[in-house]
């Protein structure tokens, strides 16, 4: 069976749990999910401050919609390598 591609979505950072690592993202439809930053990046604009209010693009697994990975900050280029 072929692997299913990730589901991309846009949202806004609503809470910072660990700067540069773990955030809570609210999608445009109101759904909230935990978002992580991979070790390869893309990295947040400032790793030391809270990122609340910054728009992001995230990738969800088709099987788990409560966790996602940040693939772009603001309107930056989307990096799907490693997904």
10-residue averages of pLDDT along the chain (83 residues): 84 91 93 90 72 90 91 72 56
- Contacts by 37-46 with C-beta closer than 8 Å and gap 24+? 37/69, 37/70, 38/69, 38/70, 38/82, 40/81, 40/82, 41/79, 42/70, 42/71, 42/72, 42/73, 42/76, 42/79, 44/19, 44/20, 44/73, 45/73, 45/74
Could you tell me if residue 43 is inside a domain?
yes
Domain of residue 61, CATH code: 2.40.50.140
pTM: 0.80
Give domain status of residue 79, yes or no: no
pLDDT of residue 83: 54
Residues spanned by the domain of 26: 7-73
Q: What is the pLDDT of residue 69?
A: 93
pLDDT of residue 57: 92
Determine, yes or no, domain membership for 25.
yes
Number of domains composing the chain:
1
């Amino acid at each position: 069976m072929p692997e299913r591609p990730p589901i991309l979505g846009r949202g806004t950072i609503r809470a910072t749990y660990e700067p540069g690592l773990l955030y809570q993202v609210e999608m445009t439809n109101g759904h909230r999910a935990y978002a992580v930053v991979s070790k390869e990046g893309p990295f947040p604009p400032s790793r030391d401050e809270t990122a609340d209010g910054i728009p992001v693009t995230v990738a969800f697994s088709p099987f788990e919609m409560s966790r996602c990975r940040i693939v772009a900050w603001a309107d930056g280029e989307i990096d799907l390598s490693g997904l």
